[in-house]
């Protein structure tokens, strides 16, 4: 079995010991080659050990995970973020398609994150997901934030401002773009509803999630109809009408 080298960056000793135990017991394809309690140690260990995976706590004394990433510049390893952040920050992780674990760490989630990370390594996925995350966290304009769309044969990175609306298609989602293109994405609309609701998008129907930047006209009715800038008419469900209208107050 191929072993992937990894380090743990976590300032709390109990958390480090718990994660070390979980990784050793439940992730047999991972070989831990170092543990660090701050970003100074982490930078030196990454330089010396060249790990393939870093388990990285977000908040640490004397600098956080993003300070470390900015110091490193080029990130040529997979990161599994460990966080007690709010749901809002988790949405930023989902946009960027990074791996993350919420504290307290769940064993099944750990196994899943490790499997995804090793899969990217084995497939030579060269996309710097952590760089996209940093861009998203620093972007002041929501429409400039980036979204990683998983495709059958890889992925595509798009800006939120390029998307007019998303449409449910069974267990998949059609993403419709400003240039007239549409893409079938292998994720449910619910995922994008949760990920994009704080970024200028509104779920107006069980089948439609729209970018409010592209709303051109609203026609009253039981639920009503939204006319998007590309001329597409989107039905508004009666149960979602009030939420939609309140976005214009």
Mean pLDDT along residues 124-134: 70
Question: Would you state the structure tokens that stand for residue 20, as one six-digit string?
Answer: 């070390």
- Domain termination site, one of 102, 135, 168: 135
Are 18 and 125 part of one and the same domain?
yes
Are 117 and 148 part of one and the same domain?
no
Instruction: Note the pLDDT tens digit of each residue in 156-172.
Output: 889 999 999 999 998 89
- Domain termination site, one of 103, 135, 167: 135
Are 170 and 206 part of one and the same domain?
yes
The whole-number pLDDT of residue 102 equals: 86
The whole-number pLDDT of residue 137 equals: 67
Backbone torsion region of residue 146, taken as left when φ is above 0, otherwise alpha when ψ lies between -120 and 50, otherwise beta: beta
Cis omega (within 30 of 0) for bond into 190: no
C-alpha to C-alpha distance for 166 and 174, rounded to whole angstroms = 6
Instruction: Note the pLDDT tens digit of each residue in 48-73.
Output: 999 999 999 988 777 788 888 888 87
Question: Would you state the structure tokens that stand for residue 81, as one six-digit string?
Answer: 């973020």
Domain interval for residue 227: 140-246
């Amino acid at each position: 079995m191929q072993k992937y080298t990894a380090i743990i960056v976590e300032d709390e000793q109990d958390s480090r010991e718990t994660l070390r135990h979980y990784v050793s017991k439940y992730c047999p394809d991972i070989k831990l080659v170092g543990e660090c309690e701050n970003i100074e140690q982490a930078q030196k260990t990454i330089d010396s050990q060249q790990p393939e995976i870093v388990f990285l706590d977000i908040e640490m004394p004397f600098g956080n995970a993003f300070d470390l990433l900015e110091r490193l510049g080029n990130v040529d390893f997979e990161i599994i973020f460990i966080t007690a952040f709010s749901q809002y920050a988790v949405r930023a992780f989902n946009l960027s398609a990074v791996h993350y674990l919420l504290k307290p760490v769940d064993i099944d989630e750990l196994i899943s994150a490790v499997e995804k990370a090793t899969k990217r390594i084995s497939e030579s996925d060269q996309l710097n997901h952590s760089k996209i995350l940093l861009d998203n966290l620093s972007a002041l304009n929501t429409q400039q934030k980036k979204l990683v769309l998983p495709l059958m044969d890889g992925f595509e990175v798009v800006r939120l401002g390029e998307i007019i609306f998303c449409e449910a298609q069974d267990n998949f989602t059609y993403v419709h773009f400003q240039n007239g293109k549409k893409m079938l994405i292998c994720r449910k609309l619910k995922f994008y509803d949760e990920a994009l609701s704080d970024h200028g998008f509104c779920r107006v129907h069980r089948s439609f999630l729209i970018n409010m930047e592209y709303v051109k006209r609203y026609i009253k009715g039981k639920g009503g109809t939204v006319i998007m800038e590309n001329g597409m008419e989107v039905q508004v469900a009666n149960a979602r009408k009030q939420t939609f209208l309140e976005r214009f107050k």
